[in-house]
Structure 1
Amino acid sequence: MTTVQSPPAPPTAIRPQVVARTGLYAVLAANAAAVTVFFVQAGFASNALVVLGRLAGLYGALLMAFQLLLVARLPWLDRRIGMDRLTSWHRWLGFGLLWTLLGHVVFIVLGYAQSSSMDPLNELLDLAETVEGVLRAVVALGLIVVVGAASARWARRRMAYETWHFVHLYTYVAVVLAFTHQVAVGTTFTASSAATAYWWTLWGVALGAVFLGRLVLPLWCNLRHRLRVSAVVPESDNVVSVYITGRDLDRLPARAGQFFLWRFLTRDRWWQANPFSLSAAPDGRTLRLTAKAAGDGTAALRHLKPGTRVFAEGPYGAFTTLHRTRPDALLIAGGVGITPIRALLEELHGHAVLIYRVATDRDAVLHDELRELAHAKGAELYLVTGPAVPDRLAPRELARLVPDVADRDVYVCGPPGMTSAVLGSLRELGVPKPQIHFERFSLAG
């Protein structure tokens, strides 16, 4: 199998993740400054509460547009930051958006109630009935509250992914309603031609990014490559590998460590997309994913027929050699988190150490293949088995297996609990943060 080996970046080079993250911060700060300038130019209301409410609403609109950018799945951002981190930022920004918009409503209602001597509830009802766009804004806020509640950890754990995703789609309805409210009654929106042009451009870029990243690019990629299942190979009783072929796969910008959202176009699975990492480095001819049966969807992979058409979104993820900083590497995998690690081992050059953490030998997916690959590349392979307690990857154990761990890039992928424990061990061992690369298995497995 032929793979492209990418040398690590020079130690003095600015990391791609830093460039992308700094760029996002700069864009947000510049837009916040622009919003403030346009707000000041529009003039202030006589009521301080109304002033605070309008400013909160403008910042809420900015955060809403920025949220769309974070989940647009634009390749440049995703390959440098990673979907898991972008999604995490989107989540926390969403809570900021919720409180900002609540502040907008509370301050506006209290301000107008103070001027009219009405109680806040009746003032809100009066505004909804008499002012164009206010009712739409109230509905938008209600939808955002529902989505925010569904995103809370206690609710997310009790909700099927499909249900959570369906609820989240209402965010786009809220965006449209909020924008029409801003167009209808936003004093800053109509204060000057420059302000109007700014807000139209901001919303156009945000919605355009979503349209491009979530619809146009996936459709174009699948029309270009015409992906199909070429073979289904059982690896064990509950693990299966699916091989995918297509046209011009050498032009597909996929790298070892990345994942796709796979949709197998059968009668009972065409509507369901699942994230699976590539379990072999792309060679320009075939893509391979390896999955463990964890439900009806993954169990059905074993029954796919060769020739089945595939719709894939991606590649996604920043868990690649693009972010290397050192010539040697340590790869740590847990469970089926071995799939992107196995692909990375194939692509990496320099000396590599692979530690594979499983409960029993029988749980070691692709172990024979890993052993052959490690031998061919001159890498060290350690299979660590046993119960989670005591921790077999504690700092002392890691230092014993890999004495020079602080001088290596470290890639970690596995269940959330294992990943968090390993990251803690690496910090105790003094591994610099830029050398630690990890991906949450719950997202990309």
Structure 2
Amino acid sequence: MPWLRRSGDVFLIVLIFLPLLVALPRLGGPGGPPGEWLTWVGQVSGILALAMMLLAGAVSCRVPGFDRYFGGLTRLWRIHHWLGFASFILVMIHALALGLAAVPASLDAAVATLFPPLSHGALWLGWLAWAAMVIFLAPTFDFFGQPHYQRWKHLHLVSAAALLLGLWHALLLAGEAWPWWLLGIAGLGAIAWRKGVAPQRRHAYRVEEVVPLARGVVELVLRPEHQGIRHVTGQFVYLTPLDQTLSAGRGEEHPYTIASAPSDGRLRIGIKDLGDASHALQTVTPGTRALIEGPYGEFFERRFPERDMLWLGGGIGITPFVGGARDLATGAVMEGRIHLFYLASDAVRAYYQEELVDIAERVEGFTFTQHYSREKGVMTEAYLRQYCPDFTEREIYICGPPGMNHHLNRLLLDQGIPASRIHSEVFDFL
């Protein structure tokens, strides 16, 4: 629902600029000698930096359903990352501008502005908030390599310290407190929810079956102990296994796409051996408990019913399309025709091939085509046109490895297909 996404974005923009709008009557406008102009820039950048920092915390709450107002959790997480990075840059501008504003008086005055005596506690709270931001953001820089998933999750607690120190800094110095209390409650409250309340609201499931699909790929079948979640096709959940025998990942949450039809009372989740936790889940013990949080995402929500659909799935990224196909097999109403291309290296790695062939034979309007890269090379425009001549007129959904997603997006854009009709998602530290 595009309007939901726009409403979330607009609301966020209003909150970003709210403290600045409240403070502008006191700050006035830019002008005057360079020192006054730089002081104004420093104050404005500091206000925007803290607002973005607090809102980055607020949008991390991960309440199921909240993400739909921003176009899904994957997009909301990108907004979260952008807010955090932008706030860090603005903090640097804030300090630099205020320091430069004092240079016309003297260099000593500039140093004293940035590094006053320790008795000026409000300013040192700002520096402590900056230090916490550096500690939190440093692992995201390429110099340190790819951050470890669980260490990165735990490091988010340092961001809470940055929010608290920054808020304290602003409340001691700002002339208008209520906007900061509003954003502070939102930001710190979201972290409290994420770390304290949300884990208690997860749904308990039992691992009913572990179905091997191929070497290094299984499908977990989970049955709810009480009330299970309600989902639509294309959504994903966070799975926390509690099997005591797991070599890794016990008690850790990781995102996985739902491969079951919404009408299925059980959850089916395809898992490929891609890391320590997913490797351990290949041999999870049936009967053990697991916690489920979600669902999240809106992969198939962004579409127009008057258009037919083209689904392009590869690797374990086939799972949202398997869920969609299983939904059709249960008698779900299909709006328009659907053509699914399964991109795999060979038949052995086409995990759900037999089931998808069977569904295509039984469901009118659902077409299934395999593409094996070892035989055909990479997917080409000619191959798509051969089996789906009207592919450029369809609404297109892509899910697979990053390299496949990038290649297909480039191929489709080169055919003149508007980016607004190409939908793809890649989980990246959700």
- One-letter amino acid of the structure 2 residue matched with residue 90 of structure 1: H
Query: Is this contact kept in 2: 1:218–1:312, CA < 8 A?
Result: no
Query: Equivalent residue for 2:184?
Result: 203
Q: Which residue is equivalent to 1:296? A: 276
- 1:70 Cα deviation from its structure 2 partner: 2.9
Q: Give unmatched runs, 5+ long, in structure 2.
A: 30-34, 329-333
CA deviations over 1:180-207 (Å, ceiling 9, x no partner) = 1111222x33xxxxxx222212222333
TM-score (norm 1): 0.84
Tell me by how many angstroms 1:117 deviates: 5.3
The 5 A counterparts of 1:407-426 are 407-426=393-412
Q: What residue number does 2:327 align with?
A: 347
Further displaced range: 265-274 or 118-127: 118-127
Provide, for residues 47-80 of structure 1, a one-character-per-residue CA deviation record: whole Å limited to 9, x for no partner: 4332221111111111112212332223334235
Q: Report the 3-state secondary structure (helix = DSSP H, G, I; strand = E; otherwise coil) of the residue aligned with 2:147.
A: coil
Instruction: Report the more deviating stretch, 351-360 or 157-166.
Output: 157-166
- Output the amino acid matched with 2:172: A
Shift of 1:155: 4.1
- Alpha-carbon contact 1:73-1:210 (below 8 Å) kept: no
Corresponding letter in the other structure for 1:171: S
Instruction: For 1:325-344, list aligned pairs within 5 A.
Output: 325-344=305-324
Post-superposition offset of 1:140: 1.2
Residue 367, structure 1, aligned to residue 353, structure 2: yes
Amino acid at match of 1:100: L
Q: Displacement, 1:346?
A: 2.5
State the shift of 1:123 in Å.
4.1
1:112 deviates by 4.4
Question: Which whole-Å CA distance do the structure 2 matches of 1:382 and 1:103 have between them?
Answer: 54
Tell me which residue corresponds to 1:10: none
1:42 corresponding residue in structure 2 = 26
Q: Determine whether 1:178 maps to 2:178.
A: no
TM-score, normalised to structure 2, is 0.87
C-alpha RMSD of the superposition: 2.7
Quote the residue 2:41 is aligned against. Answer: 52
In structure 2, relative to structure 1, the CA distance for the partners of 1:238 and 1:40 (3 Å cut) is closer
Partner amino acid for 1:164? W
Structure with higher RCO (Cα < 8 A, 6+ apart): 1
Q: 5+ unaligned residues in a row in structure 1: which ranges?
A: 1-15, 190-195
The within-5 A match list for 1:16-415 is: 16=1, 18-43=2-27, 47-79=36-68, 81-112=71-102, 114-115=104-105, 118=108, 120-127=110-117, 129-152=118-141, 154-155=142-143, 157-186=145-174, 188-189=175-176, 196-212=177-193, 215-220=196-201, 222=202, 225-247=203-225, 249=227, 252-267=229-244, 268=246, 269-321=249-301, 323-347=303-327, 349=334, 350-378=336-364, 379-387=366-374, 390-392=377-379, 394-415=380-401
Q: Distance in 1 between matches of 2:178 and 2:111?
A: 35
Letter in 2 for 1:200: W
Give the SS at the match of 2:61.
Answer: coil
C-alpha displacement of 1:239: 1.2
Is the 1:335–1:414 contact (alpha carbons within 8 Å) kept by the matching residues of 2?
yes
Asked if structure 2 preserves the Cα contact closer than 8 Å seen for 1:234 and 1:241, the reply is yes
Write the letter of the residue equivalent to 2:134: V
Query: Is the Cα–Cα contact under 8 Å of residues 324 and 435 in structure 1 kept in the other structure?
Result: no
Letter in 1 for 2:224: G
In structure 2, distance between residues paired with 1:147 and 1:421: 33
- Give me the whole-angstrom Cα distance separating, in 1, the residues matched to 2:195 and 2:359: 36
Give the deviation of 1:167 after TM superposition: 3.1
**Counterparts of 1:214 and 1:322, CA distance in 2:** 31
How far apart, in 1, do the equivalents of 2:263 and 2:227 lie?
Answer: 8
> Which residue identity lines up with residue 308 of structure 1 in the other structure?
T
Aligned CA distance change for structure 1 residues 22 and 334 (closer, same or farther; 3 Å) = same
2:312–2:398 CA contact under 8 A, matched in 1: yes
1:132/1:185 contact within 8 Å kept: no
